[in-house]
Structure 1
Amino acid sequence: MDAQELYDDAARERLVAEPPKRVDAPIRTPFERDRARVVHAAASRRLAAKTQVVDPQADDFVRNRLTHSLEVAQVARDLSRALGSQPDIAETAALAHDLGHPPFGHNGERALAALAEECGGFEGNAQTLRLLTRLEAKTFHADGHSVGLNLTRATLDACTKYPWTRAEAPAESGKFGVYADDLPVFAWLRSAAPPGTRQCLEAQVMDLADDVAYSVHDVEDGIVADRVDLTRLDPPAVWQTVREWYLPDASDADLDDVLAGLRTQGSWPTTPYDRSRRGQAALKNLTSDLIGRFCGAVQHATFAAGEGPFMRYAADLVVPDRTRLEIAVLKGIAAHYVMQAEDRLALMVRQRELLHELVAELLRRGPDALQRPLADDWHAAADDSARLRVVIDQVASLTDASAVSWHARLTVPGA
């Protein structure tokens, strides 16, 4: 059976029914249309100027949120096609997965989470759902409210990395996928899901693709930035970071064994990166081999666990424990040598201060300082909590550079 035929009318349904396209328009599936809508969204373009790990203006090579999302999309599409599910759904979810992330990467996310405490907190994935179903306007309901890009149920479900509310969030992570005032659309998109907080298969593919790309490419960026040397690691220090950031119960012995296994990968470096063309090629081969290693292990384990079909709620992605540990080791290397570097820690403090000052000033000035759509939301807000959410929506939409320029224009005398 063709992958397209696995998805029923409910999976293809949109919040607002749309008339057929004109007869001379290209024939596309509903999921191909979803992908096009995300690609053409203004929020997608803004990702090019948002931090992934290293400031996108710091180096021409390092990844930004847009290039990261494109790489996640490629991994997700290939794995989805290999499993026999609809690749457009997984790819669209991957392209959309970081749309809600604010300026300054996860550092900015933590700052806005603290600032938004009185209106229900902030989480980049919940912001993504809000953007797709409200803020990035393309279609309106008959009652006059925006339904965002009006994506299909299956695509929106695949975009929901954390299908639970803040109150249901695991204590160890605090991650959640929906704000209180977006619960109606969340209930609609999850109407076909079984009870509980299970991700659909396509969301699991997106989630894994994000982890794979994040772990491999952040190490690659760290190597090129001269912050990571895979031939001179300090395992005890890295393992402490792995436990603090990702796997609190991982033992030194297990992590030592996993690193030893990664070093048997034929393309694992034995000499430091020297920036030559041969060195560049070797680094690219390493990233390609690691992605293939992780995705191959997951594909094999998933096929071994059942006959499928591998779509929606008919099956789950199976990630071997060993693969999870290998990914965590790479993420720990990047976190230890790049994200915890002293020069970055000082910069991160200033970034958080900037966002605190910007939010305070926007709250003080009100709608005159907001972009028109957000000013309209301010006027429609019922109370201070709702107005705070509007300001958070505004700041979250900014790029790194525009956050700095807005701050200078609004808070620096004579700027």
Structure 2
Amino acid sequence: MTDADAERYVPEPPKDPSTVAADAGRGPYSRDRARVLHSAAFRRLAAKTQVHVSASGADSFLRTRLTHSLEVAQIAREMGARLGCDPDVVDVAGLAHDLGHPPFGHNGEDALDAAAGPCGGFEGNAQTLRVLSRLEAKVVGPDGVSAGLNLTRASLDASCKYPWSRRAGTRKFGYYADDAPVFDFLRAGTPADQPERRCLEAQVMDWADDVAYSVHDVEDGFHLGLVRLEALLRDPDERDALCKDVAESYSGEAPAELSGVLDDLLADPAVSAVAAFDGSHAAQVTLKRAASLLIGRFVAEAVAATRERFGDGPLRRYAADLVVPRAARARCALLKGIALRYVMRRPGAAARYAREQEILRTLVAALVQRGPDALDPVFAPLWRAASDDAARLRVVIDQVASLTDPAAVAWFERLR
């Protein structure tokens, strides 16, 4: 790693002399990790939906955005270390990657994107950069403007899944127009002939994210009784329908190609063993073993393929790209499809999704109408300083995106 990788957007004064001894041995990326862990945005993830409704009551062991982020960070750290990445940088990326997600998961993201049209739309990853570089309370620049957590260039770059602005033909993007200065800062050093190439650490984080939620969402679905493999094992038509869903939503592979991969996945003894899952202790052990084996294989296959292409030395930043075999990506996509088909599209889910979107649309409209007095003290001054209606709308979107799921419902009940 270079001195440029460790630069921060706003230069910071030397550490207080009284803390130097206790701080000995901590590098800039370790400090980045601590800043994310101690942030308010990270704590809020505990009450934001992953795939299942935010944990409560009997289902309190199910994953939230917080537990998912911790798991992504662990997978990314170990995978990155095996490749020679700085482990703290990939850890930071895993912890931070979902900080911008709004209430109600991707459903809430869609609702806010529609509401935010006049100010450039909404995207969870672009919002993550905004949280890290502007909205969190940690560092203020000499001009009095917040620099958010003021992470290093390497950590910000590793957290950026989609290094481009909004454009036609793609739903995903990495920054809003008024965050372009900090985006330009974090992308300094990108190969000039590959301006949209992601650094290796961002690729590791992205694959860790895919692996974590593809395996864990299915695991949680078993615990809820929503995922059962009997139909897939017995019914060729059901397998065909799943492969069609996956081809449409998650994979570039044709349904016929996915069908062969699905047959191999279901024939795996670790997977077929969970078909008789009944919630007993023995069944939970079997399910956990299957989840661990699948994650381990996904990681090992990517590490081996990357090493085969780029050699055995330390691989960091733009020295290599993560290589994930096609078969591994297809198996991962099929697991996502199982969660999509049996969990996200379960009976009654559509009504809940519509209600969630109504809550967020109503909140945005009410806050735009009521102005700064209805906003949190953090956001009210930003509203008053905004130069036009679009800028004020962006403040409202920032406010609503920051809410937890229960807070969004409570604000809705109060403001409507």
Offset at 1:178? 0.2
| Deviations 1:255-300 (CA, angstroms, capped at 9, x unpaired) | 1211122234331134421111100000000000000111110000
Partner residue of 2:148? 148
Aligned to 1:8: 2
Q: 1:373 aligns with which of 378, 387, 408?
A: 378
Corresponding residue of 1:275: 279
C-alpha distance in 2 between matches for 1:151 and 1:57: 30
| Residues in 2 aligned to 1:226 and 1:180: alpha-carbon distance in whole angstroms | 44
Q: Distance in 1 between matches of 2:173 and 2:314?
A: 28
1:241 counterpart residue number: 245
Written as runs of structure 1 = structure 2, the 5 A alignment for 1:260-299 is 260-270=263-273, 271-299=275-303
- Conservation of the 8 A alpha-carbon contact between 2:373 and 2:380: yes
Counterpart-to-counterpart distance in 2, 1:156 and 1:394? 22
CA distance in 1, matches of 2:322, 2:382: 40
Residue 252 of structure 1 deviates from its aligned partner by: 2.6
In structure 2, the residue matched to 1:78 is 78
Letter in 1 for 2:172: K
Given that residues 31 and 152 in structure 1 are in contact (C-alpha distance below 8 angstroms), is that contact kept between their aligned partners in structure 2?
yes
Deviates more, 1:297-306 or 1:230-239: 230-239
CA distance in 1, matches of 2:4, 2:398: 30
Contact 1:235/1:256, CA 8 A, preserved across alignment = yes
**Aligned partners of 2:247 and 2:255 also within 8 Å:** no
Contact 1:231 1:269 (8 Å CA) reproduced: no
1:303 aligns with 2:307: yes
Contact 1:362 1:391 in 2 (8 A): yes
Q: How does 1:357-372 map to 2 (within 5 A)?
A: 357-372=362-377
Residue type at the aligned position of 2:42: S
Q: Supply the AA of the counterpart residue of 1:227.
A: L
**TM norm structure 1:** 0.95
Q: Which amino acid aligns with 2:200?
A: L
Task: Give the TM-score of the pair, scaled to structure 2.
Answer: 0.94
RMSD: 1.2
Deviations 1:305-337 (A, max 9, x none): 012531100111101111111100000110011
SS in 1 for 2:322: coil
Aligned-partner Cα distance in 2 for 1:296–1:105: 29
Q: CA deviation at 1:124?
A: 0.2
User: Which of 6, 27, 30 is 2:28 aligned to?
Assistant: 30
**In the aligned structure 2, how far is the partner of 1:54 from the partner of 1:229?**
16
Aligned counterpart for 1:56 among listed residues 54, 57, 64: 54
Describe the SS at the equivalent of 2:164: coil
Mapping 1:310-389, distance limit 5 Å: 310-389=315-394
Structure 2, unmatched stretches of 5+, are 233-237
1:151-178 CA distance string (max 9 Å, x none): 00000000101000002x6x2x410000
Q: 2:169 aligned with 1:177, yes or no?
A: no
Shift of 1:373: 1.5
Alignment: residue pair count? 401
Alignment-derived partner of residue 235 in structure 2: none
User: Which secondary structure does the structure 2 equivalent of 1:296 belong to?
Assistant: helix
Question: Whole-Å Cα distance in 2 between the matches of residues 116 and 342 of structure 1?
Answer: 30
For the 8 Å contact 2:240–2:259, the answer to whether it is kept is no
Secondary structure of the corresponding residue to residue 377 of structure 1:
helix
Q: Is the 8 A contact 2:113 2:123 kept in 1?
A: yes
Give the CA deviation at 1:342.
2.5
Bigger drift between 307-316 and 329-338 goes to 307-316
SS in 2 for 1:290: helix
Asked whether the 8 Å contact 1:166–1:175 carries over to 2, the reply is yes
Check whether the contact 2:90–2:205 (CA below 8 A) recurs between aligned residues.
Answer: yes
Question: How many percent of aligned residue pairs carry the same amino acid?
Answer: 57
Which piece of structure 1 moves more, 230-239 or 150-159? 230-239
Q: Which runs of 4+ in 1 moved over 3 A?
A: none
Distance in 1 (alpha carbons) for counterparts of 2:338 and 2:254? 16
Q: Give the match for residue 40 of structure 2.
A: 42
User: Aligned partners of 2:394, 2:139: CA distance in 1, in Å?
Assistant: 22
The aligned runs of 1:158-197 (5 Å cut-off) are 158-167=158-167, 171=169, 173-195=170-192, 196-197=195-196
Distance between the aligned counterparts of 1:366 and 1:241, measured in 2?
Answer: 43
Distance (Å, rounded) in 2 between the aligned partners of 1:264 and 1:12: 47
Whether contact under 8 Å (1:93, 1:155) holds in the other structure is yes
Q: Which amino acid aligns with 2:281?
A: R
Alpha-carbon distance between aligned partners in 1 of 2:210 and 2:98, rounded to the nearest angstrom: 13
Q: Is 1:393 aligned to residue 390 of structure 2? A: no
Name the SS of the counterpart of 1:137 in structure 2: coil
